[in-house]
Amino acid sequence: MSVEFYQTLAEVPAGFGPSAVAIGKFDGVHAGHRRVIDELLAVSAERALVSTIVTFDRHPLRLLRPELCPPPLVSNAQKVERLAESGVGATLMLAFDLPFSQLSPEQFVRSILVDALQARVVMVGSDFRFGVRGSGTVETLRALGAEHGFEVHVIEDVVAPRVATAEVAETTRRASSTWIRELLAEGDVAEAAVVLGHIPSVRGVVVKGAQRGRELGFPTANLSPGMEGFIPRDGVYAAWFTVDGRRYGSAVSIGNNPTFDGVPDKQVEAHLLDEDIDLYGKTVEVAFVEYIRGQVKYSTIEALIEQIADDEEKVRVILGYPPKA
């Protein structure tokens, strides 16, 4: 089945469906979301329905309470790609704008689930709210489903293991975008990968930098400030660097490089292991495997070079590269 993508109800073709629908923000398409998608695919296959995701182009809080809105884990383009990779038949990404926010629960169900998608099964979380001011609840949806001929399946929370540390004994926690943001803000990309179900990454265009890395013997690819994805805590990471379909091991620095003056905040620089290729203007993806250390200001250039060399050796071990010749 080909994967269809729609951004408005008008784009959904007449006669679409009948469908099984999962509704949610799907920020990050994390392990919890993937469990929902697995159930969606199973029900769709069993009942010969079109597996369909309904999601939104922004977090509702960006419109309703922008001061409380968390940063997204992925861009809309990344989200659509990951949903397509999951095997769903169609994704409908609606604009969460003022007119949409003012739909009543009945209008939401009628316009989206009934008229556009011909839903037979609708999957939501236990805390699902919809319609103007969140006035629709799961019970409201069940009542409307009985009226319009669709079942409502409530998906229970998915828990993921927490990595045991000196401060936290190994346990579990609900897989959520909030938890992933916390982990990335702490630099814990390894545990974030467990909750996400994939390695956290950012994507951007390589731009010209100050060339300091090349002068130090460690040329770097600098990503443009407007990159897609949630940037982890400042520091140095072992990472995979993908460009033109090829993957390279890399040591990545995030931050403002405190050894030098005038470096902008949250600069992402990747030093590719054993490679020195022209990357300017190319769109690349950096996937963070493991946090190595925080940013440090060095008193001499020699001390900085020694630290960078040590960082590279650590990255080689983590990524399975041989020692530098």
DSSP 32-96: HHHHHHHHHHHHHHHHT-EEEEEEESS-HHHHH-GGGPPPPSS-HHHHHHHHHHTT-SEEEEE--
Rounded alpha-carbon distances, angstroms, from residue 205 to 122, 145, 251 = 39, 46, 17
Domain layout of the chain by residue ranges: 4-155, 157-198, 200-319
Structure tokens at 263: 């470096």
Q: Which fold has domain 200-319?
A: Elongation Factor Tu (Ef-tu); domain 3 (2.40.30)
The CATH superfamily of 4-155 is HUPs (3.40.50.620)
| Spatial CA neighbour of 252 closest among 208, 212, 214, 220 | 220
Rounded CA separation 224/233 (Å): 17
Instruction: Tell me if 94 sits within 8 A of 103, measured CB to CB.
Output: no
Per-residue pLDDT of the chain (325 residues; tens, 9 = 90+): 457 999 999 999 999 999 999 999 999 999 889 989 999 999 999 999 999 999 999 999 999 999 999 999 999 999 999 999 999 999 999 999 999 999 999 999 999 999 999 999 999 988 899 999 999 999 999 999 999 999 999 988 777 766 655 555 556 778 889 999 999 999 999 999 999 989 999 999 999 876 565 556 578 899 998 899 999 999 999 999 999 999 999 999 998 765 445 555 678 999 999 988 889 999 999 999 999 999 888 778 888 888 899 999 999 999 999 998 7
Q: Which residues contact 245 (CB under 8 A, 6 or more apart)?
A: none
The model's pTM is: 0.85
Nearest to 177 by CA among 160, 152, 156, 154: 160
Residues 56 and 218: their CA atoms lie apart, in Å, by: 42
248: β partners: 241
Amino acid making up residue 207: V
